[in-house]
Structure 1
């Protein structure tokens, strides 16, 4: 039996896959992971979306970008590809980017592109939760590290 692995949003590790072409590098998370086996994923890129890309939010259960174009199929395909990648792995938990329409674990933006947050999960986070995988929000992780 192999070592359990941790799924991590690739942007948290410094990969420039965020919608704006940047990343969400988190030194505390990288330090925590240094002796662990990691599976880095960016479901949005895995679903075929470019970097950079228009910001997206979940609008009435459909992922839509700021131009009103549905990117729902790309988000769902990316979540499927990421889930297929981990299907035979023993997963300890997933550390995911806060508020993301893919990876948000507790809150996501409300779909109005006004920066208003609501309770909810991103597309990929929801799939992980259905499989019973423990989700750790990157903001929550930062709080844990400070204790």
Structure 2
């Protein structure tokens, strides 16, 4: 498995079909099987946590793209198709929005969660929690599923 290393260049992350990367993902999961979305999300979070720290937003997006493709190609059971709802996809430029009052931070909206990526490569993924309030299903909070610093060691919540 790729070991975290603050000084490891982003290029050290194997491309999607590299034998080391595939072995890494397979070691975390059931071999050669279609996994549920929940299981694949768990593999994605584990691989993102283990990946080297990104130096900037572009590197963070590249890491996320590689990790998502590796997991989905190996365990998703659905070929790459941006419109297939059964496959999990990383943030893309079309989803990008400026976070108000924080020019160094971009927000990427997904179904049921969002991703924040800072200029320094820091990544946060937050899940939106829903519940019933007065008989109406509504957003009741959120929880952080991934909080990864950038290569400079700073996390998003520490930045001003």
Give the TM-score category using the shorter length.
0.3 to 0.5
Higher RCO (CA < 8 A, seq sep 6+): 1
When normalised by structure 1's length, the TM-score is 0.33
When normalised by structure 2's length, the TM-score is 0.31
Work out which of the two has the higher radius of gyration on C-alpha atoms and give 1 or 2.
2
